[in-house]
Amino acid sequence: MTEPEPFGARLRSAMDTRGPLCVGIDPHASLLRDWGLDDDVAGLERFSRTTVEALADRVAVLKPQSAFFERFGSRGVAVLEKTVAEARAAGALVLMDAKRGDIGSTMSAYAAAFLDPAGPLFSDALTVSPYLGFGALAPAVEAATAAGAGLFVLALTSNPEGREVQRAAGADGATVAATVLRHLAESNAGARPLGSFGAVVGATLGDLSAFELGVNGPLLAPGIGAQGATPADLPAVFGSAARNVVPSVSRGVLRHGPTTTGLRDSAARFADQVREAVG
């Protein structure tokens, strides 16, 4: 049986050919209204399908936020399944933004939901939370490795509340965030051209030179656009790791819908600005 190509290699190729940009699919009620859609399952489906049709053949990564689909129950999850399948079929890598994190059999079940190639929600990568201990993520790491998928682990998030956990120091003096980054570097050791296990690091955080961001894996950087960061900020925040940054933009692109042209032009502008900033 042929081993699947690792997510890190597929992501590196997609970033090099399509540009290093991740566009979120975040069907906020307010965005649905802005698009002239009702805040219901029909509006959700129209919003998601339009975004996929506009962008899945040209951006590196699409990132559906599962909460905005789950809020409609089983019918919303059915739309999410279709969104994932159609985006992957059109050539985008799909990062499921679900931020799952638990222990034992429960973590295994989360991994099966999103990282089993036979499952209807199978995604190229999944966001996960390490705050029950990085080792508790082992079932997801194993499932991702077997499927050629990836993980993005919360490390230095852009929300101000995150500091009380992520910047807290343990008995060894290392912060929680530094410990997460160290584990990621160990998980990616020897991977070429890029490891499959990345960190979530906010683009709005300013100078992060105190942290070792060179984990040989991708760095998902939310905060570009509506949250105030710009592509030009990336080198100052990420330093020598900037080439491995996957800037994540949601409202900054989505507010230019519902026209296909508006979405494509906005995404292209961001991609060009990122290329110019990080080289």
> Does residue 60 belong to any structural domain of this protein?
yes
- Among 75, 99, 163, 269, the active-site one is 99
Query: What total of structural domains would you count in the chain?
Result: 1
> Does residue 42 belong to any structural domain of this protein?
yes
Write down the pLDDT at residue 3: 86
State yes or no: is 99 an active-site residue: yes
Is the model's pLDDT at 227 over the cut of 80? no
> Does residue 1 belong to any structural domain of this protein?
no
Write down the pLDDT at residue 127: 98
State the amino acid at position 25 in one-letter form.
I
Q: Give me the residue label for tokens 């519902």.
A: 258
Instruction: Calculate ∠ Cα 92-98-103, nearest 5°.
Output: 130
> Does residue 72 belong to any structural domain of this protein?
yes
> Does residue 210 belong to any structural domain of this protein?
yes
Q: Which two tokens stand for residue 208?
A: 């992060």
Write down the pLDDT at residue 224: 84
Write down the pLDDT at residue 21: 95
> Does residue 108 belong to any structural domain of this protein?
yes
> Does residue 2 belong to any structural domain of this protein?
no
pTM for the whole thing?
A: 0.97
> Does residue 78 belong to any structural domain of this protein?
yes
Strand partners, 150: 125
Domain encompassing residue 143: 7-169+178-278
CATH code, domain with 93: 3.20.20.70
b/e map of 224-236 (b: 16 or more CB within 10 Å)? bbebebbbebbbe
In tens, the pLDDT along 80-131 reads 999 999 999 999 999 999 999 999 999 999 999 999 999 999 999 999 999 9
Q: 119-123, 178-182, 230-234: which range is least confident on average?
A: 230-234
- Whether omega for the bond prior to residue 130 falls within 30 degrees of 0, making it cis, is no
Q: Give start and end residues of each alpha helix (H) in the chain.
A: 7-18, 29-34, 41-55, 67-70, 74-89, 104-115, 138-147, 163-166, 176-187, 234-238, 251-254, 260-278
Residue 57 to residue 55: CA distance in whole angstroms: 6
Which of the 8 DSSP states describes residue 116?
-
Residue 51 to residue 156: CA distance in whole angstroms: 28
Write down the pLDDT at residue 226: 67
